[in-house]
Amino acid sequence: MISKEELERREELERREELGRRQEMQRRKEKERRKKLEESIDLAKRQEEERRQEEERRTQSSRRTKKRQAEENMLISEIESLKQNFEDTTKKLIKDILRQDKIMLRSDQRQRKDYDELQLKLEEIKLLSKEIEDTQKEVIFTMGAIGESRSKETGNHVKRVAEYSKLLAIHYGLSLKEAEMLKQASPMHDIGKVAIPDIVLNKPGRFNEEERLIMDTHAQIGYEMLKHSDRILLKTASTVAYEHHEKYNGKGYPQGLKGEDIHIFGRITALADVFDALGSDRVYKKAWSDEKIFKLFREERGEHFDPNLIDIFFNHLDDFLKIRSTFKDVLD
């Protein structure tokens, strides 16, 4: 039989053991709490550092974008100035040329000399007009190449897109003048990319939802950059920039236009751009095989692309492949 003292001693021992277990459990909980607190602090520090770095990258990208836009605005201003000087000179000389009939009626040598000088000036006007037009085309192509080079694409991309676009336009039934105009304007289709941050533009993988929304703004940005000009070439370029991501089924952007509501220049450039993009290496993908591209085009006839243009593409496939071969990328 257990004595009363022994029973009390055992009870006291059990109480102490129970107290010890509770204290140990409390110490463990406190240790876990401190660990979680430290992890939360570390996570907050890392997130703050990442936020700071991201903000710094965005600031640097914004500065580069502003600098590029300033350079491009300067190029456009130079074209506008040349054009205005040409128009002023032309108006003045036209008034002189209108007097040529009266000049021809007079027989003295000086008046004949004046007439000859006017003819020389007229030839100078023609040469000046051609020089301005050539300069404008060169600047358009250069600006388009600048936009493409920021996304690690070669200048030959805009050359091929320009040639594809002209070929499609001719076979679609546009005039040679319209086809040539589209060829000259199409290099500006992605000019809005100059305003897209490098961290998004050159991401080597799929975009998340936020990045996709940022990238999609380049069509609207390109249009806003070009729409204010009165020059037909820049107006054409603004249309191409604005509508080359619209889809024939109305599921494109930025306006969601459908079918022939999309300008023919936009529909043509969409097909030319996609054909060249799929067949070229990009930072986010390898070039597709021709079979894979052709399969997609047949599936997207009447969906992404104008069905008439798809038919033209396949009916003149050899011509498109010849252009691709002529202006193929040269690797270093």
**Residues designated catalytic:** 193
Q: Give me the residues paired with residue 285 across strands.
A: 282
Q: Give me the residues paired with residue 282 across strands.
A: 285
Q: What angle do CA 186, 187, 189 make, to 5 degrees?
A: 65
Q: Give me the residues paired with residue 301 across strands.
A: 305
Q: What angle do CA 278, 281, 286 make, to 5 degrees?
A: 80
330 backbone φψ class: left, alpha, beta (φ>0; ψ -120 to 50): beta
Enter the tokens of residue 297: 């085009």
Q: Which residues contact 315 (CB under 8 A, 6 or more apart)?
A: 171
Contact 180, 133 (CB under 8 A): no
Rounded Cα gap, residues 157 and 282, in angstroms: 11
* Chain centre distance of CA 166: 20
Rounded Cα gap, residues 148 and 168, in angstroms: 22
How far is CA 125 from each of CA 130, 249, 254, rounded to the nearest angstrom? 9, 48, 42
Helix/strand/coil (H, E, C) string of 112-161?
A: HHHHHHHHHHHHHHHHHHHHHHHHHHHHHHHHHHHHHHCCCCCHHHHHHH
Rounded Cα gap, residues 331 and 266, in angstroms: 30
Q: What sign for the dihedral angle of Cα 74, 76, 78, 80?
A: negative
Rounded Cα gap, residues 234 and 225, in angstroms: 10
